[in-house]
Amino acid sequence: MHEMGIASSIVDTVTAEAQKRPGTRLLAVGLRLGEVSGVSAEALEFCFQSLVKGTELEPIGLEIERSPRRHRCPQCGCEFDVVDYDPTCPKCGEFSTALISGDEMEIVYLEVEDG
């Protein structure tokens, strides 16, 4: 389960940021997770909560924002969300479109409360 390794990396990053901000309390970490990232949001959430349980981070929440699979057409430049795994351009019908987002996994924010 690679989600445990990912969750561990998130915890390490959050811990390092917490050490830079003494006297504050971490409330949440926000993660953008692409539709085709290959990561299960549910498994990642479970792993994250398992890792922070019983630690000083325990009250922190993992908030996952899902990012849709988007493509760009090389013929007409149309950018669109892929629906039902069909990468065909809705504007001109071109099949060979390119992925421009939906494969990302990134920490986008850390919610902190001053002590």
pLDDT in tens, 14-70: 999 989 988 888 999 999 999 999 999 999 999 999 999 999 898 899 999 999 999
CB 2 within 8 A of CB 40: no
Its pTM stands at 0.84
Name the strands in the sheet holding 70-72, side by side, starting at the edge strand that comes first in the sequence: 79-81, 70-72, 98-101
Instruction: Bin 83: left if φ > 0, else alpha if -120 < ψ < 50, else beta.
Output: beta
Whether 102 shows a pLDDT value over 80: the answer reads yes
Q: What is the mean pLDDT of the chain?
A: 94
Could you tell me the pLDDT band of residue 103, with boundaries at 50, 70 and 90?
very high
Query: Do 29 and 110 touch, CB atoms closer than 8 A?
Result: yes
- pLDDT for res 24: 87
The domain spans of the chain are 2-68+102-114
Name the CATH code of domain 2-68+102-114 (choices 3.20.20.140, 3.20.20.70, 3.90.1150.10, 3.30.2320.50).
3.30.2320.50
- pLDDT of amino acid 1: 58
